[in-house]
Amino acid sequence: MQQPEHSEDVAEVLEEITPEQWQVIRAAIAAEDALALKTALEPVHPADIADLLEQLDSEQRTTFLRLYASEFEGDILSEIDESIREEVIEVLPPEVLAEAVRELDSDDLVDILEDLEQPERDFILDSLESEDREAVQSAMAWPEGSAGRLMQVETVTAPEHFSVGEMIDYLRSAEWLPDQFYHIILVDPDGHPTGYATLGRVLASRRDVLLKDITEESFRTVKAAEDEAEVAHLFNKYHLISMPVTDESGQLVGVITIDDAMNVLDEELEEDILRLAGVSEESSLSDRIWDTTRGRFIWLFINLLTAIFASFVISLFEEELEAMVALAVLMPIVASMGGNAGTQSMTVAVRALATRELTGQNARRVLWREVVVGVLNGGAFGMIMSLVVAYWFGVPMLAAVIAMAMMLTLAAAAFAGIVLPLALDKLGVDPALASGPFVTTVTDVVGFFAFLGLASLVLL
């Protein structure tokens, strides 16, 4: 897999697409001017060209790919969002696609292939040289979402007895090296990794120094079957820049680099954010209207059920609401404040669970902190609302009721925002996906019961 060739001048001025360039690019696409399009994109980074493709509609994208085919690079293909990648592959001329994929490392190819249908997957595999094809197929044999799928099989290794000088001579004579590598991995005669040395330490050491004498203390390995989320957690926790991957027998089969680990963390964060909002983690701005509608329907339906349940609670206090209209006016305020407070605690809990910061060991302390925060905020906003209500309606006891209800609701919201994600996580249910409706239901029901119940006892 050869690396794409760039002139030194172009590599130095790669930049984002400016508004002025956007105008030129759109005009070139509309006029089907291949030369103008190539000139406008010459200083642009492949990742920004991928962003451009994502922002064009399907017709413009097809025209762009036809005009830019001769300049299309593998790096662009690897940066394109999964939602349109298959469309791009179908539009690209076969010879352009074949040349583009040959530029990529095995981990990038695996990332592309696992989202494609079998015909496109077979074509790309057939475009590779036999050695590269075997490497990719070997990585594809590991379970989806595992370290084996995340790794690149191209590694730079050395025997344990190698000196710095021998290693440097080897690197200079090697005909091909991975596009990105940060460590020289030391292996024993059986192919088991025993340590690694950074390129910086290798270059800074004398030629007669043995590699095993300058290995890093951070060295650790991961099994190829390990979940990629666990791999990303290890990178983040131990500040790693690469990590060797081994099979069940402990033999080296590949290496994971920090860029791939950070991509996993980004994807996990994006999935959590989308799930908290009730949106599929596979959603994108290029999705069709029907797919987007169907994807959001289930979440909205669940919320409708919880809203009906909350309305049923309200119906239990019909006489109180008829007797004092002010209760109906103020009731949404209590529920809204409780919902916002619950969402705050829930978001903190879901993110802390994802990053392993919230565990069984510190759950009680975190819960206590959140409840105390809820009580304090509830008391503060309760006092504010009591003053507003006293001035607005002139009923001192109503002011006292809303103050007490506000404090109870925010405390309950904080409690639910921590306990429910923890409980769902224990049950093996993704807390980011399922916490929202439950927390909303708890805060609404507690808010309505607290406010209307206290009002019926004190005022009526």
pLDDT of residue 279: 60
Q: CA nearest 363: which of 425, 271, 277?
A: 425
CA distance 405 to 457: 13
Domain end, chosen from 243, 276, 309, is at 276
441 and 321 in a single domain? The answer is yes
Average pLDDT for 371-376: 93
Task: Tell me the pLDDT band of 10, cut-offs 50, 70 and 90.
Answer: very low
Place of tokens 């019926």: 456
270 and 296 in a single domain? The answer is no
293 and 439 in a single domain? The answer is yes
Round the average pLDDT of the chain to a whole number and report it.
Answer: 85
- pLDDT, one tens digit per residue, over 110-152 is 888 887 888 888 888 888 888 888 888 888 889 988 999 999 8
pLDDT of residue 282: 59
pLDDT of residue 11: 38
- Identify the top-confidence range among 284-288, 370-374, 446-450: 370-374
270 and 295 in a single domain? The answer is no
Domain end, chosen from 117, 141, 165, is at 141
Kindly give, in sequence order, each residue whose CB lies less than 8 Å from that of residue 412, ignoring residues fewer than 6 positions away.
338, 374, 442, 443, 446, 447, 450
Q: Using the predicted structure, report yes or no on whether residue 280 has a pLDDT greater than 70.
A: no
Kindly give, in sequence order, each residue whose CB lies less than 8 Å from that of residue 127, ignoring residues fewer than 6 positions away.
97, 98, 101, 102
Residue 403 lies in a domain: yes
Give Dmax (Cα) for the chain: 93
- pLDDT, one tens digit per residue, over 316-330 is 888 877 778 888 888
57: DSSP letter:
-
Sign of CA dihedral 146, 147, 151, 157: negative
Q: What is the distance of C-alpha 453 from the center of its chain? A: 43
Domain end, chosen from 210, 244, 276, is at 276
C-alpha distances in Å from residue 247, one per residue of 134, 210, 252, 387? 17, 27, 7, 67
Phi–psi pair at 129, nearest 5 degrees: -70, 155
CA distance 289 to 286: 9
Give, in degrees to the nearest 5, the angle at Cα 241 between 51 and 357: 90
The range of the structural domain enclosing residue 356 comes to 289-458
* 3-state SS assignment for residue 93: coil
CA distance 302 to 311: 14
302 and 407 in a single domain? The answer is yes
169 and 67 in a single domain? The answer is no
pLDDT of residue 66: 92
- Identify the top-confidence range among 254-268, 302-316, 323-337, 370-384: 370-384
CA distance 127 to 274: 36
309 and 385 in a single domain? The answer is yes
Residue 132 lies in a domain: yes
pLDDT of residue 456: 87
Asked whether the beta carbons of 17 and 25 are under 8 A apart, the reply is yes
Phi–psi pair at 104, nearest 5 degrees: -95, 150
Instruction: Look up the CATH number of the domain holding residue 436.
Output: 1.10.357.20
Q: Two tokens at 162?
A: 């190698």
Q: Which residue has the higher pLDDT, 289 or 426?
A: 426
Average pLDDT for 171-194: 90
Residue 3 lies in a domain: no
300 and 443 in a single domain? The answer is yes
Kindly give, in sequence order, each residue whose CB lies less than 8 Å from that of residue 27, ignoring residues fewer than 6 positions away.
33, 36
Average pLDDT for 182-204: 94
CA distance 174 to 98: 25
327 and 401 in a single domain? The answer is yes
Residue 2 lies in a domain: no
Task: Tell me the pLDDT band of 178, cut-offs 50, 70 and 90.
Answer: confident
Instruction: Look up the CATH number of the domain holding residue 68.
Output: 1.25.60.10
Q: Which H/E stretch holds residue 246?
A: strand 242-246
Instruction: Look up the CATH number of the domain holding residue 271.
Output: 3.10.580.10
When divided into structural domains, the chain yields a total of: 3
- pLDDT, one tens digit per residue, over 211-237 is 999 999 999 999 999 999 889 889 988
Q: What is the distance of C-alpha 128 from the center of its chain? A: 30
- What percent of the chain shows pLDDT beyond 90? 35
Laid out side by side, the sheet with 193-198 consists of: 157-159, 183-187, 193-198
54 and 89 in a single domain? The answer is yes
Beta-carbon count within 10 A of 12 CB: 9
Q: Using the predicted structure, report yes or no on whether residue 410 has a pLDDT greater than 90.
A: yes
pLDDT of residue 278: 60
pLDDT of residue 64: 93
Q: Using the predicted structure, report yes or no on whether residue 19 has a pLDDT greater than 70.
A: yes
Average pLDDT for 421-450: 83
Q: What is the distance of C-alpha 106 from the center of its chain? A: 22
Place of tokens 């021998």: 166
For helices 130-140 and 106-113, the axis angle rounded to 10 degrees is 60
- pLDDT, one tens digit per residue, over 59-92 is 999 999 999 988 898 889 888 887 788 888 888 8
Q: Two tokens at 284?
A: 């994108």
Task: Tell me the pLDDT band of 350, cut-offs 50, 70 and 90.
Answer: confident
pLDDT of residue 285: 55
Task: Tell me the pLDDT band of 281, cut-offs 50, 70 and 90.
Answer: low
Place of tokens 């105390």: 372
C-alpha distances in Å from residue 294, one per residue of 133, 220, 234, 272, 299? 38, 44, 36, 19, 10
Asked whether the beta carbons of 158 and 170 are under 8 A apart, the reply is yes
301 and 387 in a single domain? The answer is yes
Give, in degrees to the nearest 5, the angle at Cα 61 between 57 and 65: 180
Residue 150 lies in a domain: no
Task: Tell me the pLDDT band of 394, cut-offs 50, 70 and 90.
Answer: confident
Q: Using the predicted structure, report yes or no on whether residue 415 has a pLDDT greater than 50.
A: yes
Average pLDDT for 146-161: 92
228 and 172 in a single domain? The answer is yes
Could you tell me the end-to-end alpha-carbon distance of the chain, in angstroms, rounded to an integer?
A: 80
Q: Which residue has the higher pLDDT, 115 or 315?
A: 315
Residue 412 lies in a domain: yes
Asked whether the beta carbons of 224 and 254 are under 8 A apart, the reply is yes
Residue 146 lies in a domain: no
Residue 151 lies in a domain: no
Q: Which residue has the higher pLDDT, 452 or 116?
A: 452
